[in-house]
Structures are given as structure tokens and as C-alpha cells.
Chain A
Amino acid sequence: MRRDSIGFWIAMVLFLGAVLLATQVVGNEYPFFAGYVILQFIVLAVAWSILGGYAGYVNFGTNAFFGVGVYTAVFLVKATGASLFVQIATAAVVGALVGLAVGLLTLRMQGIFFSIATIALSIVIETSVTNWRYVGGAAGIQLQRPPVMEPFHSYVQMLFFVQALLVVLAIAIARYIQRSWLGRGLQALKDDELAAECTGVPTLRLKLMACVVSGALMCAAGAPAAMYLQYADPSSAFNLNYSVTVLAMSLIGGTANWIGPVLGAILLGVTQQLLAVTISSEVNVLVLGVMLVLFVVAAPEGILGLIRRIVHIRAGSKV
């Protein structure tokens, strides 16, 4: 193991340890309730960047994967009363399969066609779920939380810890892809797909792989939301706001490195939690939209790009 990898894993273990400690020490539930949402968006943004950032395919269908995750959990709870772990694991498998299907159907298209196709898929899936009586149809469905497991005191704290585990998993996978030949291949096809194909990069296989991994992670991140809200309905589970939020977080953070979407998700997630408490949810979306547009225009590489530019200037002035 290389030295920076050791550093990375120590940081991850420290992060999980801190989360676990917080669930034991902090009595108030609200920080976990709010923090859960931020962690969830970190997973979604990191997962989105695997396809959207490394490969440059703008996926507008985050809401489709998230919603499929939610409804996989709903279905399992209703049909078998499955445990949270089973819900998440199954959601990941379903997400991978949906990702594969989406990929096979849409990844031959490029640019805007792929993006529009992902919106289309999300609406088609949403409409199907809306018409599926068993999971509640358009009216939605109420869910009962099972008793909480040791060592946690409340279910929200447990969900918070579980989502933190998913964050570590997502980051580890994104980091692995980025540093391996997979990431370099995706980078190559992002720069010039035809040239990559000609030099022997298996572009379609790489894109499919990215779509499957990204889909699995997004679905896994969505699965605990059913128990978090104790309620699910198609129009909120498949809300297009998830797509624009995750897109904004990834692009604002910068997609060249896995740390970008993490930064973006923390920054925007915290802002949103503060705004949601103080002002209305509409203003929340407005702030998000304006930040997305500003960053895309003024800081194309996101926060990562800004940091790099500052470092360059500092380094330049010393010489």
C-alpha cells in the first residue's frame, strides 16, 4: 500500500470513528436528521461524478436511481420485512441492473441525447411506480420503522451511521476508479471518444462499467431514505430536484477528483440545510440554480479548479 493510501484509509477510519462517537455522545436528534441529508448527497454526488465527471456524460437521471432505491426498500419492507442491510444491498444490485439497462440503451448516444434520454427514463420509471398499486401508487405509502439495533439509541442515528458507511464506500470506489486504468480510460474518452476508441480503449465497456457502478451507489444511497422519512411517494422520490442538486454539487466542487463532489456536497448541503431552516424551500432551489450557473460560467473547474489556480499563483510568485 502506498503512503497516501495509508493516509486515506486512516482518514476514513477516523471519520467513521467520529461519526460513531457522535451517535453515542450527542443526545439531540436534529444534527443527525440534518446531517443524514448531507451525507446522502455526498454519496449521490460522488456516484454521479463517476459517469458525469470522469467520462463527461451528463446524467439527468439521478432522481431515477434514487427513486428506484427508495422503492426497492419500500417493496422489500412491504413484501418481506427485510432488514435495512438487505434493503440497501438489494437496492445496490437493482441499481446496477438499472444502470446496465440505461447504459445499454443510451450510452451509444452522446452529449445532449444521453442527457435527455436519462430524463426520459426517469419519467418512464416514475410513471410506472405511480401506477403500481402494491407500493402505494400516486398517494404514497406509510412505513413503520423496526426497533433500533444496538449500539444506537435512535433510528435516525443508526441511519446516519449507515449513510456514513456508504460515503466511505462511494469515496473508496471513486478513488479506486480514478487512480486505476479505468479512470484513465474514462478520461481519454471524455477528451476525445473517437481517438480513444481508435487507440484501443474499450469505450463502450468502460462507460457501461461507470454507469453500473454509479447507478448501484445512487440506488444504495436512496434505499435508507424510505426508513428515514417513514413515507414514500413517487413525486418526491423521483423529484427532478435531486438531479439538479447533485449536478450542481458535482460541478461546483469540480469533477476532476473525487474530493470535488465531496466538497460541493458539503458546501451546498450545509447551505441548503441552513436556508431550509431560515427561508423557504423555493429560495433553496433558487440559490442552488444561481450557484450552478455562476460556477459553470465563471469557474468551469469548480472549487478544485479555483484552489489549483490560487496554488499556481502562489507558486508562481515565489519564483
Chain B
Amino acid sequence: MISMDLLLNAVVLGVLLGCFYAAVSLGLSVSFGLLDVPHVAHPAFLIMASYGVFFLNDSYDIDPLLAGLMITPLLFVFGLIAYRIYYETFEKRGTDAGVRGIAFLFGIAFIIEVLIILQFGVDQRSVSASYIGKAWRLGDMRIPVRLLVAFAVASALTILLTLYLSKTFMGRAIRAVAQDQEALRLMGANPVRIKQWAFGIATAVLGIAGALLIIVAPVEPTLDRAYIGRTFCVVVMAGLGSITGTLIAAIILGVAESIVLSTVGASWAPAISFAMLLAVLAIRPQGLLGRRS
């Protein structure tokens, strides 16, 4: 039987961790949830962003969060180009796009992984900043400051993206394209342009997300494999495209992982997100707050 203290500690850490998981899943929530791109390369893009942050921090001693902001425009452009290629080769042709599109993105993920290995080696990499390594004491609880930073930034990012999608013209257009492309076309708007823009946004938020990833823990080139489970678990559990749902689902995952970590042991941790994903797919495929009934 585990003590209440331990459990409380695990839950608090889990909530913090969960907000961080929300931040790394937001992009997928847009690209897969709203745009229906089977984006299995999303975690690879994320790790790529982390290595960009590592490079700036390591070579020029730039704060990781600032570095994340600096690579955001690059990622945005990268996202625009990636979607254009994906659209021209798969969505436009239509037939059999599912199978080949997934295989294409899976291949891209592996290429990114190997390029990172060739450039940075297989070792774990981490960043340095004043707030990393310190801890904040609250009674008996010891909360690492790096998790608090991740929590604060992740929450801000989630709120910003929610506001963007609900208040701005472009954000509403993105949600409209997810609901009914044809109607949008009839209104005189170009759905492909809007989707491309949305995919750019989805990739751009990976700048900050990648910075948080490497702040929370060291990264290695094959880390994207674990995050396939986490990000897809969060997005599917959330209900495709729901940003609020993403936050709730991510917190559920964070708390579940944290509790298992402190009770059963770390060796079972990799399976949590995947097992939850399977359970969600089997029991409630539409997720917590699904856009489709």
C-alpha cells in the first residue's frame, strides 16, 4: 500500500507533466485532429526542434526557451513546405492516399532520426539554463523547477492556441476547413491554402514544445518512438481536434504515468501511453470531446 503523501506527490507531478504533454501534442491535435493528416512524423519533427534548441544552447549559450522561439519561424516555413509536398503527392491524387501517405510520413520520421544521429550522435543531449536542476519545496514535496517552467509555458501555449483558433479569422477558417471543406470552397475560400497555413502553425508550435522537451529531460535521436504513443494517445483520447480535450487527456496521461512510475516502477512506463491509446481506440474511439459523433 502506498502512502497518501507519495500518491499526492505523484498526482501533482503528473498534472505538471500532463500540461507538458499537452504542449507537445498541440501540433498533432491540429495536423491530425483538424486536418486529417496521418502525421506519424510529428514526434520526429518534435525531436528535430529539440535538437535545434540544443544546437543554439550548446553553441551560443542561448536560453532554451528563447532558442525555441528563434527556430519557430523556420519550423513554420518547414511546415508550409512539408504540407505542400504532402498535398501535391497524396491528397490531390486522392486514390490510395491513406496507405502511401502513412508510409511516406513513417519514412520521413526515420530519415529525420538518422540525420540527427549522423549529425549529433546517439548520445543523450541536454541543455543548460539557470532554472534547470533546481527544485521547489512545498511541505514534503519536492517539485523540480524545470517541470514548473514547462507547466507554465505549456499552459500559456495551450491558451494562446485556443484563442487563436476561436478568436482570429484564420483560426476560425482552420476550424471551418476541418468541418466542411466543400462549403468553404463554395464561399470562395481556398481550403488548401488554409490547411497549409494550419499545418505551418502546427509545426511552428513545435519550437516551444521542443524546447520544453529538452528542458524536462535529456533527448536522444530515437525518443520520437516513445512520443508516437504519447502524442497520439493524447490527441485520440482528447477527441480529434479538441484543444481543451487535449489538455484534459494530457493531464490524465501525465497522472497515470506518474503514478505507475512511483508505484510499479520505471520499466513499465513506456507501455502506459500505448496501453491507454489502445484502450481508448477499443472503448471510445471518438475520444473525450470528439468532433465526430
A residues in contact with B278, CB < 8 Å: 105, 117, 120-121, 124
Known pairs A244-B107, A289-B111, A290-B111; A128 contacts B271 (CB<8 A): yes
- Residue in contact with B89 in the complex, picked from A251, A285, A297, CB distance below 8 Å: A297
Contact A300 B100, beta carbon cutoff 8 Å: yes
CB distance from B48 to the nearest CB of A (A): 14
Interface check B20, CB cutoff 8 A: no
B residues in contact with A130, CB < 8 Å: 267
CB distance from B121 to the nearest CB of A (A): 10
A residues in contact with B12, CB < 8 Å: none
Q: Give complex CA distance A285, B89 in Å.
A: 23
B residues in contact with A244, CB < 8 Å: 106-107, 110
Q: Give complex CA distance A248, B107 in Å.
A: 8
Q: How many residues of B contact A (CB 8 A)?
A: 37
B residues in contact with A286, CB < 8 Å: 111, 114-115, 118
A residues in contact with B103, CB < 8 Å: 58, 247, 251, 292, 296
Known pairs A58-B99, A247-B106, A297-B104; A123 contacts B274 (CB<8 A): yes
Contact B118 A282, beta carbon cutoff 8 Å: yes
0 or 1 for each of A92-136: is its CB under 8 Å from B? (1 = yes): 000000000000011001111101110111011011101100000
Contact A289 B267, beta carbon cutoff 8 Å: no
CB distance from A121 to the nearest CB of B (A): 7
Contact B38 A112, beta carbon cutoff 8 Å: yes
Interface check B282, CB cutoff 8 A: yes
Interface check A160, CB cutoff 8 A: no
Interface check B268, CB cutoff 8 A: yes
- Residue in contact with B229 in the complex, picked from A119, A128, A285, A289, CB distance below 8 Å: A119
Interface check B232, CB cutoff 8 A: yes
A residues in contact with B228, CB < 8 Å: 116, 119
In the complex, the chain A residue whose C-beta lies closest to that of B221 is A282
Interface check B73, CB cutoff 8 A: no
Q: Give complex CA distance A138, B281 in Å.
A: 28
Contact B271 A124, beta carbon cutoff 8 Å: yes
Known pairs A105-B278, A120-B229, A244-B106; A285 contacts B267 (CB<8 A): no
Q: Give complex CA distance A117, B229 in Å.
A: 9
Contact A113 B107, beta carbon cutoff 8 Å: no
B residues in contact with A292, CB < 8 Å: 103-104, 106-107, 110
Known pairs A106-B281, A115-B38, A286-B118; A58 contacts B271 (CB<8 A): no
Contact B267 A131, beta carbon cutoff 8 Å: yes
In the complex, the chain A residue whose C-beta lies closest to that of B98 is A111
Interface check A242, CB cutoff 8 A: no
Interface check B270, CB cutoff 8 A: yes
Q: Give complex CA distance A240, B277 in Å.
A: 18
Q: Give complex CA distance A120, B270 in Å.
A: 10
Interface check A66, CB cutoff 8 A: no
In the complex, the chain B residue whose C-beta lies closest to that of A255 is B99
- Residue in contact with B40 in the complex, picked from A56, A106, A116, A124, CB distance below 8 Å: A116
Q: Give complex CA distance A175, B106 in Å.
A: 28
Contact B38 A293, beta carbon cutoff 8 Å: no
- Residue in contact with B99 in the complex, picked from A56, A126, A128, A297, CB distance below 8 Å: A56
Q: In the A-B complex, list the 5 residue pairs whose CB atoms are closest, starting with the nearest.
A: A112-B38, A127-B271, A120-B274, A292-B107, A289-B111
Chain B interfacial positions (CB closer than 8 Å to A): 32, 38, 40, 89, 96, 98-100, 102-104, 106-108, 110-111, 113-115, 117-118, 225, 228-229, 232, 236, 267-268, 270-271, 274-275, 277-278, 281-282, 285
Chain A interfacial positions (CB closer than 8 Å to B): 52, 56, 58, 60, 105-106, 109-113, 115-117, 119-121, 123-124, 126-128, 130-131, 138, 240, 244, 247-248, 251, 282-283, 285-286, 288-290, 292-293, 296-297, 300
